[in-house]
Structure 1
Amino acid sequence: MSVNIRSERLAKYFGAVIHGKQEIQDSTHFKRFIEATLDQSDPSIVVQRIISSQSALKALQIGLRSNLTPVFINGYTAKLIQYLKNREVKLLCNGQFLEQLLLIIVEPRTLWGAFLEAFRTRKLEDHAIQALCWLMAELLSLPPSCGVDVSADAQTVLNDGSLFSSPSVDIRNSGHKIKYRLEMKTSAATYQHSEITAGGRHDNDFGDFRLTAIFPTADEMECKEKPFYRRAEDIAQMFSGQRIAGYIDNQFRLLREDMLSELRDEFQVARGTKKGRRSAFHLRNLFLTHIRCTSGTPSRLRPYTIGVTAQSGLGKLQNLSEDRRKEFLKTTPQFIKHRAFGCLVRDTEIVAFATIDRDIDELVSDPPTVMLRITGEEPLKKSLLYLKLYHDVEFLLVDTAIFAYEPILRCL
């Protein structure tokens, strides 16, 4: 059957359900209705047609509960929920159309319970987990008048821990969004029902900008959601005592996002996915040698630095004697430059960002050891784990002027 003929038949079936000419009696009928829905190119039009049809709403109510097995949830139900994730759907009637569909999905709780059980027993595929996370985040943001409270279920899902340990950055970031919205709900804070808010996009996004680490995390770099800014009119509408704080918050976010934009571009250049001048310094196949947290004086603590050797990238030093290495390093400060910024990567995954702590004594050792300073407890843990488990971790220099941003961001 050609694609056009199939699409025509699905469109005809969808229309029959909308106009009450076709009832959804079992999961086979509902499976076809989902296929017909997903075949439509404009989700906002589809949602409007469903909302305006009592027959379609009834079909959804019955069909969603016609088959509660993990196989059906993975293959069909989750895909239908993801279809509703479209940005234009949320804009319809100030979010009321989406709210109505969410209530049909979650009440009565039979489907919701089956979804959670499939998650608990690890029977959901990644796309279905993302659908569950999106649904949960949206339900947490519903007003109290809807009478839907999934706070306990959300806490159970978070306590499970699998969202934050998932290899998928989208799932990890979804977990942070659920955590943020749950905190807003349980603290009785006023949730800003807007598509773009401060906090919850990833593991380094908070309502209080002072909690945000200046250096980005790997999940933040992979996040595709729009950043949060306040417009000038939003700041002007604040109470007089809040405007200065709102202005400083905005300046921090704007300047930091400017830094991240430059950093993303330079990272793509360093990886070779974007044209530009790449740094010649590139360490491959790293091995962890030691960890250091003291300076020359044992009693004086310093930020954690890790020592790594590389099978490739330090040829200039490896071909020299110890005395020649020391002389070369002293006369060539641009080679392995102190406080140069870069990142640890494995394949296409960012492990952590780091700065070089140029220690000549370590560099003249055999084999030469490069000291890397990694900011943050979680990035440090991840770096140590990856260097222990894998031998294909690399270090790339990223030619971004972090020094031009960091002092100002710290002052803010």
Structure 2
Amino acid sequence: MTHTNPTASITDYTASSGVPHAAPGAAPAEVAAASTGSIPLPPPPASPGSSARLVLGIVGIVLLSIIALFVAVFLIAGLGVNAFALGGVLALVPLAIVFFGIRWIDKWEPEPRAAVVFAFLWGAGLSVLLALIVGAEIDNVINSMGGPGPGYEFFGAAVQAPIVEEVGKGLGVLVIFWAARKHFDGPVDGIVYAAWVAGGFAFTENILYFGSQLIEAGGVDGSVVEIFLVRGIMSPFAHIMFTSFVGIALGLAARRASALGALGYFLIGLIPAILLHAFWNGALFFVSNFYGYYVLVQVPLFVGAVFLVRFLRHQESKLTFDRLTEYSQAGWLHPDEVAVIATAQGRRQAIAWARSRGKGAEMKRYLQGATRLAFARQRIITGRGRSAATVDEARLLPALVDDRRALASA
């Protein structure tokens, strides 16, 4: 059955075509051999260890919240309430820019909110605390050796900060990889988690920079405006670009390595993260025209990062198409549905069509469920967390059928 309008195929044919139901967890070839009649779906089994992971996730978020609160108190003690508050308000601007940027990256298969909150709190709290502790210890060692000498400022910016900060941020991405690996499907997911960790770190760091400049200037003046322009408007994604190398490396590890083997990928990802961070900071000591340097170096780096993300998102789209095509061949989906679910244009048209019929939320849930199903199938095929992925498939397939029935009534 062929439809010229891809959005219509999602609902029009489901009401009358009698799409077959097959046993969840079966391989596509086995599903294809199933009868075209309706086969009752057993209830999905409980995910092994899900309760324990939930408890650990809650405990982790609570502990990170306490650490973030401690860091906030530390900043207030050093900056004062007024400078901290105004610096915080200014820091919300680059944070908002980062938020919308991450939403664009994470649009295809949104990550769980709990994991995102964990990532942000790790960056805003624990990563900053680690940087402060290590920095204080290094200062103690230098002071015990007679105090800072020539080149100390360059060492701090181009050597100490890149190593300490990237290790601290990267560890957060690694912890998420280990704790929520079923939601860590590839490089795009790695970039998203790295972006939230780095975005949290940059938020706290911006409060410190903006607040310190406010104190030094005695209020808002040209120097405060300039540092806000440079850090908040011109380079809000700097930390994200650095830490994304760790995220990409662990995203590749999610498809190729064991939990222990991911450590090697983590270390490999740290190398370019540290080097780019060092180049970003260190170059400022040698350029006489910052804005010229910004246009010639930093802008091309950012544009290159955008193209890389677009390429990786295209790979996600292709993976979705390939895996859902297997379900289509097995009779779970109509071929027209696959074309809708696996392309950005098809999704936009489908959501617009559903909204015109008051079914926008149902369509979004349907698209997200189908995408998660595709990634669960990928995990089954590659053997990564096969048992948990089979449980997810068993849960997602009947949910997909229910969502299609809801859309069929539009």
TM-score, length-scaled by structure 2 = 0.27
TM-score, length-scaled by structure 1 = 0.27
Greater gyration radius: 1
**Whose helix fraction is larger, Structure 1's or Structure 2's?**
2
**Whose strand fraction is larger, Structure 1's or Structure 2's?**
1
